[in-house]
Structure 1
Amino acid sequence: MPRYEEDWRRRFTEWDVDEEDDQPRPAVVKPDPAPAEETHEPRPIQVVLDESGAVRDVVIPENWRETTSPRELGPALLDAANRALGNVVAAQVEAFDLGSAPEQPVVARRDAPDAGGDPTSPIAEALVNEALDLFSRYDRDLEAYAAQVRQAATATSRGAGGNGRIVVTMTGGRITGVEADPRWAVTARYTEVRVEALSAFRAAGRGSAATRSIALPASITRLQELASDPEALSRQLGLSR
Protein backbone atom coordinates (compact mmCIF):
# COMPACT_ATOMS: atom_id res chain seq x y z
CA MET A 1 0.00 0.00 0.00
CA PRO A 2 1.42 3.35 -0.94
CA ARG A 3 2.69 5.48 1.89
CA TYR A 4 0.32 8.36 1.29
CA GLU A 5 -2.73 6.05 1.41
CA GLU A 6 -1.64 4.55 4.73
CA ASP A 7 -1.31 8.00 6.26
CA TRP A 8 -4.72 8.93 4.94
CA ARG A 9 -6.40 5.87 6.51
CA ARG A 10 -4.69 6.43 9.84
CA ARG A 11 -5.91 10.00 9.88
CA PHE A 12 -9.58 9.06 9.61
CA THR A 13 -9.59 5.85 11.69
CA GLU A 14 -7.89 7.15 14.85
CA TRP A 15 -9.72 9.33 17.34
CA ASP A 16 -8.88 12.93 17.07
CA VAL A 17 -8.08 13.96 20.63
CA ASP A 18 -8.41 17.61 21.37
CA GLU A 19 -5.75 19.02 23.63
CA GLU A 20 -8.39 20.69 25.73
CA ASP A 21 -9.93 17.30 26.56
CA ASP A 22 -6.83 16.40 28.55
CA GLN A 23 -7.32 19.38 30.85
CA PRO A 24 -9.31 18.87 34.06
CA ARG A 25 -12.72 20.41 33.81
CA PRO A 26 -14.13 22.42 36.69
CA ALA A 27 -16.72 20.65 38.77
CA VAL A 28 -20.28 21.63 38.14
CA VAL A 29 -21.63 23.45 41.18
CA LYS A 30 -25.30 22.77 41.61
CA PRO A 31 -27.28 25.44 43.37
CA ASP A 32 -28.48 24.58 46.86
CA PRO A 33 -32.08 23.46 46.91
CA ALA A 34 -34.44 26.13 48.05
CA PRO A 35 -35.16 25.75 51.77
CA ALA A 36 -38.51 24.22 52.48
CA GLU A 37 -41.02 26.63 53.81
CA GLU A 38 -41.49 26.29 57.55
CA THR A 39 -44.88 24.96 58.44
CA HIS A 40 -46.38 26.17 61.68
CA GLU A 41 -48.93 23.63 62.74
CA PRO A 42 -51.63 25.27 64.83
CA ARG A 43 -51.43 24.36 68.49
CA PRO A 44 -54.51 23.01 70.22
CA ILE A 45 -56.47 24.87 72.86
CA GLN A 46 -55.23 23.86 76.31
CA VAL A 47 -56.51 24.10 79.88
CA VAL A 48 -53.89 24.04 82.64
CA LEU A 49 -54.83 22.59 86.04
CA ASP A 50 -53.00 22.62 89.34
CA GLU A 51 -52.46 19.52 91.49
CA SER A 52 -55.89 19.89 93.09
CA GLY A 53 -57.63 19.96 89.70
CA ALA A 54 -58.48 23.68 89.77
CA VAL A 55 -58.06 25.63 86.53
CA ARG A 56 -54.88 27.70 86.67
CA ASP A 57 -54.69 28.96 83.10
CA VAL A 58 -56.17 28.65 79.61
CA VAL A 59 -53.94 28.64 76.52
CA ILE A 60 -55.58 30.00 73.36
CA PRO A 61 -53.25 30.00 70.32
CA GLU A 62 -53.36 33.07 68.12
CA ASN A 63 -54.43 30.94 65.14
CA TRP A 64 -56.92 28.78 67.06
CA ARG A 65 -59.59 29.23 64.38
CA GLU A 66 -57.48 27.16 61.96
CA THR A 67 -58.39 24.03 63.92
CA THR A 68 -61.54 25.04 65.78
CA SER A 69 -64.55 26.82 64.42
CA PRO A 70 -66.14 29.53 66.58
CA ARG A 71 -69.17 27.29 67.01
CA GLU A 72 -66.97 24.52 68.42
CA LEU A 73 -65.09 26.74 70.89
CA GLY A 74 -67.14 25.56 73.88
CA PRO A 75 -66.72 21.82 73.19
CA ALA A 76 -63.02 22.38 72.49
CA LEU A 77 -62.55 24.02 75.90
CA LEU A 78 -64.45 21.18 77.58
CA ASP A 79 -62.34 18.57 75.81
CA ALA A 80 -59.14 20.39 76.81
CA ALA A 81 -60.28 20.52 80.45
CA ASN A 82 -61.06 16.80 80.48
CA ARG A 83 -57.67 15.97 78.95
CA ALA A 84 -55.93 18.09 81.56
CA LEU A 85 -57.88 16.41 84.37
CA GLY A 86 -56.90 13.00 83.02
CA ASN A 87 -53.24 14.03 83.07
CA VAL A 88 -53.52 15.24 86.67
CA VAL A 89 -55.14 11.99 87.80
CA ALA A 90 -52.55 9.91 85.94
CA ALA A 91 -49.71 11.86 87.56
CA GLN A 92 -51.21 11.40 91.02
CA VAL A 93 -51.65 7.66 90.47
CA GLU A 94 -48.07 7.35 89.25
CA ALA A 95 -46.73 9.27 92.25
CA PHE A 96 -48.82 7.34 94.78
CA ASP A 97 -46.70 5.17 97.06
CA LEU A 98 -48.54 2.07 98.20
CA GLY A 99 -45.94 1.48 100.90
CA SER A 100 -46.39 4.83 102.59
CA ALA A 101 -48.58 4.99 105.67
CA PRO A 102 -51.67 7.18 105.34
CA GLU A 103 -51.57 10.42 107.24
CA GLN A 104 -53.62 10.43 110.40
CA PRO A 105 -56.19 13.21 110.63
CA VAL A 106 -55.26 15.97 113.03
CA VAL A 107 -58.04 16.60 115.53
CA ALA A 108 -57.96 19.67 117.73
CA ARG A 109 -58.37 18.67 121.37
CA ARG A 110 -59.53 20.76 124.25
CA ASP A 111 -57.53 20.67 127.46
CA ALA A 112 -59.01 17.65 129.20
CA PRO A 113 -59.60 18.07 132.94
CA ASP A 114 -58.33 15.36 135.26
CA ALA A 115 -60.78 13.48 137.49
CA GLY A 116 -57.95 12.49 139.80
CA GLY A 117 -58.65 8.78 139.46
CA ASP A 118 -62.19 9.11 140.86
CA PRO A 119 -64.88 7.82 138.46
CA THR A 120 -67.58 9.36 140.66
CA SER A 121 -66.12 12.86 140.55
CA PRO A 122 -68.15 15.67 138.93
CA ILE A 123 -65.62 15.79 136.09
CA ALA A 124 -66.09 12.12 135.24
CA GLU A 125 -69.87 12.30 135.59
CA ALA A 126 -70.04 15.37 133.33
CA LEU A 127 -68.07 13.58 130.63
CA VAL A 128 -70.27 10.48 130.85
CA ASN A 129 -73.41 12.60 130.47
CA GLU A 130 -71.86 14.47 127.53
CA ALA A 131 -70.89 11.23 125.81
CA LEU A 132 -74.40 9.81 126.23
CA ASP A 133 -75.87 12.95 124.66
CA LEU A 134 -73.38 12.79 121.78
CA PHE A 135 -74.21 9.17 121.03
CA SER A 136 -77.93 9.91 121.11
CA ARG A 137 -77.43 12.55 118.40
CA TYR A 138 -74.84 10.62 116.40
CA ASP A 139 -77.15 8.65 114.10
CA ARG A 140 -79.38 11.62 113.33
CA ASP A 141 -76.46 13.97 112.66
CA LEU A 142 -74.65 11.37 110.56
CA GLU A 143 -77.73 10.83 108.39
CA ALA A 144 -78.12 14.57 107.83
CA TYR A 145 -74.43 14.88 106.99
CA ALA A 146 -74.61 12.01 104.49
CA ALA A 147 -77.59 13.67 102.79
CA GLN A 148 -75.64 16.92 102.44
CA VAL A 149 -72.69 15.05 100.94
CA ARG A 150 -74.93 13.30 98.42
CA GLN A 151 -76.52 16.60 97.47
CA ALA A 152 -73.11 18.21 97.02
CA ALA A 153 -71.97 15.32 94.83
CA THR A 154 -74.76 16.06 92.36
CA ALA A 155 -74.96 19.83 92.81
CA THR A 156 -74.52 21.92 89.67
CA SER A 157 -72.84 25.30 89.59
CA ARG A 158 -72.44 27.65 86.63
CA GLY A 159 -69.88 30.37 86.20
CA ALA A 160 -69.78 33.02 83.48
CA GLY A 161 -66.84 35.01 82.18
CA GLY A 162 -66.51 38.71 82.81
CA ASN A 163 -68.51 39.53 79.67
CA GLY A 164 -70.89 36.58 79.88
CA ARG A 165 -69.65 35.19 76.56
CA ILE A 166 -68.43 31.87 77.99
CA VAL A 167 -70.30 29.86 80.63
CA VAL A 168 -68.84 26.83 82.43
CA THR A 169 -70.97 24.20 84.18
CA MET A 170 -69.63 21.99 86.98
CA THR A 171 -71.42 19.03 88.54
CA GLY A 172 -70.06 17.40 91.66
CA GLY A 173 -66.81 19.32 91.29
CA ARG A 174 -66.27 18.13 87.71
CA ILE A 175 -66.47 20.29 84.58
CA THR A 176 -69.39 18.97 82.58
CA GLY A 177 -70.12 21.70 80.06
CA VAL A 178 -68.72 24.81 78.39
CA GLU A 179 -70.80 27.16 76.28
CA ALA A 180 -69.37 29.95 74.15
CA ASP A 181 -71.16 32.61 72.12
CA PRO A 182 -70.26 31.70 68.50
CA ARG A 183 -71.01 35.18 67.15
CA TRP A 184 -68.64 36.73 69.64
CA ALA A 185 -66.02 34.04 68.98
CA VAL A 186 -65.93 34.95 65.27
CA THR A 187 -64.29 38.32 65.92
CA ALA A 188 -62.88 38.01 69.46
CA ARG A 189 -59.12 38.27 69.77
CA TYR A 190 -57.37 35.20 71.12
CA THR A 191 -56.35 37.16 74.22
CA GLU A 192 -60.00 38.05 74.84
CA VAL A 193 -60.99 34.40 74.52
CA ARG A 194 -58.34 33.41 77.07
CA VAL A 195 -59.43 36.00 79.64
CA GLU A 196 -63.11 35.19 79.20
CA ALA A 197 -62.59 31.42 79.43
CA LEU A 198 -60.29 31.65 82.45
CA SER A 199 -62.70 33.86 84.39
CA ALA A 200 -65.59 31.50 83.57
CA PHE A 201 -63.68 28.43 84.77
CA ARG A 202 -62.70 30.17 87.99
CA ALA A 203 -66.23 31.45 88.65
CA ALA A 204 -67.65 27.95 88.24
CA GLY A 205 -64.90 26.56 90.47
CA ARG A 206 -65.75 28.99 93.26
CA GLY A 207 -69.41 28.03 93.11
CA SER A 208 -68.58 24.33 93.12
CA ALA A 209 -66.25 24.70 96.11
CA ALA A 210 -69.01 26.46 98.06
CA THR A 211 -71.36 23.52 97.58
CA ARG A 212 -68.69 20.97 98.51
CA SER A 213 -67.45 22.59 101.75
CA ILE A 214 -69.59 20.71 104.26
CA ALA A 215 -68.47 20.67 107.87
CA LEU A 216 -68.86 17.62 110.07
CA PRO A 217 -71.63 17.86 112.66
CA ALA A 218 -70.51 19.10 116.06
CA SER A 219 -71.44 15.80 117.73
CA ILE A 220 -69.20 13.76 115.43
CA THR A 221 -66.36 16.27 115.74
CA ARG A 222 -66.52 16.11 119.55
CA LEU A 223 -66.52 12.30 119.56
CA GLN A 224 -63.47 12.32 117.30
CA GLU A 225 -61.80 14.74 119.68
CA LEU A 226 -62.43 12.51 122.69
CA ALA A 227 -61.28 9.35 120.91
CA SER A 228 -58.13 10.95 119.53
CA ASP A 229 -56.39 10.92 122.95
CA PRO A 230 -57.22 7.74 124.90
CA GLU A 231 -54.94 8.66 127.81
CA ALA A 232 -56.61 12.03 128.34
CA LEU A 233 -60.02 10.37 128.07
CA SER A 234 -59.06 7.82 130.71
CA ARG A 235 -57.91 10.53 133.13
CA GLN A 236 -61.05 12.56 132.52
CA LEU A 237 -63.21 9.53 133.31
CA GLY A 238 -61.23 8.91 136.50
CA LEU A 239 -59.93 5.57 135.27
CA SER A 240 -56.28 6.58 135.57
CA ARG A 241 -54.16 9.28 137.10
Structure 2
Amino acid sequence: MTADDSADVLSVTLAAQWKQSVDPRVLGFAVTAAMNAATMQALAKQVERPTVEEPPTPPVPQQDGSRITLDEATQLLDAVQADLDRFMRQVAEVTDRPVTVESRGGHVRGTTQRGQVLDVAVDPAWAHTARTSELEQEVLEVLRALRAPGADLARGPRSPAIAELTALVSDPNALLRRVGLLP
Protein backbone atom coordinates (compact mmCIF):
# COMPACT_ATOMS: atom_id res chain seq x y z
CA MET A 1 0.00 0.00 0.00
CA THR A 2 1.28 3.45 -0.89
CA ALA A 3 -0.02 6.51 0.91
CA ASP A 4 1.02 10.15 0.86
CA ASP A 5 2.00 12.26 3.87
CA SER A 6 -1.70 12.92 4.56
CA ALA A 7 -2.46 9.17 4.65
CA ASP A 8 -4.45 9.39 1.43
CA VAL A 9 -4.10 6.03 -0.30
CA LEU A 10 -2.38 6.33 -3.65
CA SER A 11 -2.19 2.68 -4.62
CA VAL A 12 -2.71 -0.87 -3.41
CA THR A 13 -0.43 -3.63 -4.64
CA LEU A 14 -0.69 -7.26 -3.62
CA ALA A 15 2.37 -9.50 -3.70
CA ALA A 16 2.65 -11.43 -6.97
CA GLN A 17 2.00 -14.80 -5.35
CA TRP A 18 -0.26 -13.63 -2.54
CA LYS A 19 -2.86 -16.36 -3.16
CA GLN A 20 -0.29 -19.04 -2.29
CA SER A 21 0.82 -17.35 0.94
CA VAL A 22 -2.29 -15.60 2.30
CA ASP A 23 -5.64 -17.18 3.09
CA PRO A 24 -8.30 -15.03 1.33
CA ARG A 25 -10.34 -15.11 4.56
CA VAL A 26 -7.66 -13.08 6.38
CA LEU A 27 -6.82 -10.72 3.53
CA GLY A 28 -9.06 -8.04 5.05
CA PHE A 29 -7.05 -8.14 8.29
CA ALA A 30 -3.85 -7.59 6.31
CA VAL A 31 -5.38 -4.65 4.45
CA THR A 32 -6.66 -3.12 7.72
CA ALA A 33 -3.23 -3.46 9.31
CA ALA A 34 -1.48 -1.97 6.26
CA MET A 35 -3.87 0.99 6.14
CA ASN A 36 -3.48 1.75 9.83
CA ALA A 37 0.32 1.41 9.53
CA ALA A 38 0.28 3.87 6.61
CA THR A 39 -1.84 6.27 8.66
CA MET A 40 0.54 6.05 11.62
CA GLN A 41 3.53 6.58 9.31
CA ALA A 42 1.87 9.66 7.81
CA LEU A 43 1.13 11.03 11.29
CA ALA A 44 4.73 10.44 12.34
CA LYS A 45 5.95 12.37 9.28
CA GLN A 46 3.57 15.20 10.07
CA VAL A 47 4.90 15.39 13.63
CA GLU A 48 8.52 15.34 12.41
CA ARG A 49 7.95 17.93 9.71
CA PRO A 50 4.86 19.96 10.47
CA THR A 51 3.63 21.75 7.39
CA VAL A 52 2.72 25.37 7.76
CA GLU A 53 -0.29 26.03 5.65
CA GLU A 54 -1.01 29.53 4.55
CA PRO A 55 -4.49 30.52 5.65
CA PRO A 56 -6.75 31.05 2.68
CA THR A 57 -6.80 34.61 1.48
CA PRO A 58 -10.13 36.06 2.52
CA PRO A 59 -12.14 37.82 -0.14
CA VAL A 60 -11.61 41.55 -0.32
CA PRO A 61 -14.34 43.41 1.55
CA GLN A 62 -16.57 45.68 -0.45
CA GLN A 63 -14.78 48.94 -1.09
CA ASP A 64 -17.92 50.87 -1.96
CA GLY A 65 -18.11 52.25 1.57
CA SER A 66 -21.72 51.21 1.97
CA ARG A 67 -22.90 50.97 5.55
CA ILE A 68 -23.89 47.67 7.09
CA THR A 69 -27.23 47.92 8.76
CA LEU A 70 -28.08 46.12 11.96
CA ASP A 71 -30.44 43.85 10.00
CA GLU A 72 -27.69 42.97 7.48
CA ALA A 73 -25.22 42.24 10.27
CA THR A 74 -27.76 40.09 12.10
CA GLN A 75 -28.61 38.17 8.91
CA LEU A 76 -24.91 37.57 8.22
CA LEU A 77 -24.25 36.33 11.75
CA ASP A 78 -27.34 34.10 11.61
CA ALA A 79 -26.13 32.63 8.30
CA VAL A 80 -22.64 32.03 9.72
CA GLN A 81 -24.13 30.36 12.81
CA ALA A 82 -26.31 28.11 10.63
CA ASP A 83 -23.27 27.17 8.51
CA LEU A 84 -21.21 26.41 11.63
CA ASP A 85 -24.03 24.31 13.10
CA ARG A 86 -24.27 22.34 9.83
CA PHE A 87 -20.48 21.84 9.84
CA MET A 88 -20.51 20.61 13.44
CA ARG A 89 -23.27 18.10 12.61
CA GLN A 90 -21.15 16.81 9.72
CA VAL A 91 -18.10 16.50 12.00
CA ALA A 92 -20.17 14.65 14.59
CA GLU A 93 -21.48 12.25 11.93
CA VAL A 94 -17.93 11.43 10.83
CA THR A 95 -16.37 11.16 14.28
CA ASP A 96 -19.11 9.81 16.50
CA ARG A 97 -20.28 6.83 14.52
CA PRO A 98 -18.64 4.22 12.34
CA VAL A 99 -18.86 4.79 8.59
CA THR A 100 -19.09 1.73 6.35
CA VAL A 101 -18.52 1.76 2.61
CA GLU A 102 -18.69 -0.95 0.01
CA SER A 103 -16.94 -1.22 -3.33
CA ARG A 104 -19.04 -0.85 -6.45
CA GLY A 105 -18.45 -4.52 -7.20
CA GLY A 106 -19.73 -5.40 -3.72
CA HIS A 107 -16.77 -7.64 -2.90
CA VAL A 108 -14.92 -5.36 -0.48
CA ARG A 109 -16.37 -3.53 2.51
CA GLY A 110 -14.65 -1.31 5.06
CA THR A 111 -15.53 0.52 8.26
CA THR A 112 -13.83 3.55 9.78
CA GLN A 113 -14.37 5.71 12.84
CA ARG A 114 -12.46 8.78 13.98
CA GLY A 115 -9.98 8.40 11.13
CA GLN A 116 -9.03 4.83 11.97
CA VAL A 117 -9.89 1.91 9.73
CA LEU A 118 -11.66 -0.56 11.98
CA ASP A 119 -12.24 -3.34 9.51
CA VAL A 120 -11.82 -4.30 5.88
CA ALA A 121 -13.65 -7.38 4.69
CA VAL A 122 -12.98 -9.08 1.38
CA ASP A 123 -15.31 -11.73 0.00
CA PRO A 124 -12.99 -14.77 0.22
CA ALA A 125 -14.69 -16.73 -2.55
CA TRP A 126 -14.39 -13.80 -4.94
CA ALA A 127 -10.82 -12.99 -3.82
CA HIS A 128 -9.77 -16.56 -4.58
CA THR A 129 -10.98 -16.34 -8.19
CA ALA A 130 -10.60 -12.62 -8.96
CA ARG A 131 -7.71 -11.17 -10.90
CA THR A 132 -5.21 -9.43 -8.65
CA SER A 133 -5.79 -6.12 -10.45
CA GLU A 134 -9.55 -6.33 -9.78
CA LEU A 135 -8.94 -7.04 -6.12
CA GLU A 136 -6.44 -4.19 -5.82
CA GLN A 137 -8.88 -1.80 -7.50
CA GLU A 138 -11.81 -2.66 -5.21
CA VAL A 139 -9.63 -2.43 -2.08
CA LEU A 140 -8.26 0.93 -3.27
CA GLU A 141 -11.78 2.19 -3.95
CA VAL A 142 -12.93 1.30 -0.44
CA LEU A 143 -9.85 2.73 1.30
CA ARG A 144 -10.20 6.02 -0.57
CA ALA A 145 -13.90 6.20 0.25
CA LEU A 146 -13.14 5.59 3.92
CA ARG A 147 -10.82 8.61 3.97
CA ALA A 148 -13.15 10.91 2.02
CA PRO A 149 -15.61 12.11 4.70
CA GLY A 150 -12.98 13.33 7.15
CA ALA A 151 -10.61 14.72 4.54
CA ASP A 152 -13.11 17.27 3.31
CA LEU A 153 -14.01 18.38 6.82
CA ALA A 154 -10.37 18.77 7.84
CA ARG A 155 -10.22 22.00 5.84
CA GLY A 156 -12.71 23.54 8.26
CA PRO A 157 -16.07 25.21 7.74
CA ARG A 158 -16.51 27.04 4.45
CA SER A 159 -19.42 28.97 3.06
CA PRO A 160 -20.14 32.30 1.38
CA ALA A 161 -21.36 33.75 4.70
CA ILE A 162 -18.21 32.63 6.54
CA ALA A 163 -16.05 34.07 3.75
CA GLU A 164 -17.93 37.37 3.93
CA LEU A 165 -17.56 37.60 7.70
CA THR A 166 -13.86 36.71 7.44
CA ALA A 167 -13.40 39.44 4.86
CA LEU A 168 -15.15 41.97 7.08
CA VAL A 169 -13.08 41.23 10.17
CA SER A 170 -9.80 40.97 8.24
CA ASP A 171 -9.66 44.78 7.96
CA PRO A 172 -10.77 46.31 11.27
CA ASN A 173 -10.72 49.90 9.98
CA ALA A 174 -12.89 49.05 6.99
CA LEU A 175 -15.26 47.18 9.31
CA LEU A 176 -15.53 50.14 11.68
CA ARG A 177 -16.24 52.44 8.72
CA ARG A 178 -18.89 50.08 7.35
CA VAL A 179 -20.69 49.89 10.70
CA GLY A 180 -20.51 53.66 11.05
CA LEU A 181 -18.00 53.95 13.88
CA LEU A 182 -15.32 55.66 11.76
CA PRO A 183 -15.74 58.34 9.10
Q: TM-score if structure 2 supplies the norm length?
A: 0.76
Equivalent in the alignment of 1:230: 172
Deviations 1:166-203 (A, max 9, x none): 11223344422200111222333433322232233234
For residues 72 and 81 of structure 1, the distance between their equivalents in structure 2, rounded to whole angstroms, comes to 15
For residues 145 and 200 of structure 1, the distance between their equivalents in structure 2, rounded to whole angstroms, comes to 24
Whether the 8 Å contact between 1:58 and 1:197 is mirrored in structure 2 is yes
User: Are residues 109 and 173 of structure 1, via their aligned partners in 2, closer, same or farther at CA, if it must alter by over 3 Å?
Assistant: farther
Q: Note the C-alpha offset of 1:135.
A: 4.6
Aligned match for 1:160, one of 99, 102, 108: 102
SS in structure 2 at match of 1:111:
coil
User: Are residues 90 and 217 of structure 1, via their aligned partners in 2, closer, same or farther at CA, if it must alter by over 3 Å?
Assistant: same
User: Are residues 204 and 151 of structure 1, via their aligned partners in 2, closer, same or farther at CA, if it must alter by over 3 Å?
Assistant: closer
Q: What amino acid maps onto 1:160 in structure 2?
A: E
Question: Structure 2, unaligned stretches of length 5 or more?
Answer: none
Equivalent in the alignment of 1:74: 28
Which has more helix, going by share of residues? Answer: 2
Equivalent in the alignment of 1:85: 39
User: Are residues 163 and 132 of structure 1, via their aligned partners in 2, closer, same or farther at CA, if it must alter by over 3 Å?
Assistant: closer
Q: Note the C-alpha offset of 1:60.
A: 0.2
Whether the 8 Å contact between 2:94 and 2:150 is mirrored in structure 1 is no
- RMSD over aligned CA atoms reads 3.2
Aligned 1:1-241 pairs, distance under 5 A: 47-96=1-50, 103-114=54-65, 123-124=66-67, 126-135=68-77, 142-206=84-148, 208=149, 212=153, 215-216=157-158, 219-240=161-182
How many residue pairs were aligned? 182
Larger radius of gyration: 1
User: Are residues 181 and 86 of structure 1, via their aligned partners in 2, closer, same or farther at CA, if it must alter by over 3 Å?
Assistant: same
For residues 179 and 94 of structure 2, the distance between their equivalents in structure 1, rounded to whole angstroms, comes to 39
Equivalent in the alignment of 1:43: none
Q: TM-score if structure 1 supplies the norm length?
A: 0.61
User: Are residues 137 and 164 of structure 1, via their aligned partners in 2, closer, same or farther at CA, if it must alter by over 3 Å?
Assistant: closer
Whether the 8 Å contact between 2:110 and 2:146 is mirrored in structure 1 is yes
Question: Structure 1, unaligned stretches of length 5 or more?
Answer: 1-46, 115-122
For residues 160 and 135 of structure 1, the distance between their equivalents in structure 2, rounded to whole angstroms, comes to 39
SS in structure 2 at match of 1:91:
helix
For residues 182 and 234 of structure 1, the distance between their equivalents in structure 2, rounded to whole angstroms, comes to 66
User: Are residues 233 and 181 of structure 1, via their aligned partners in 2, closer, same or farther at CA, if it must alter by over 3 Å?
Assistant: same
Q: Compare 214-223 and 144-153 and name the one that shifted more.
A: 214-223
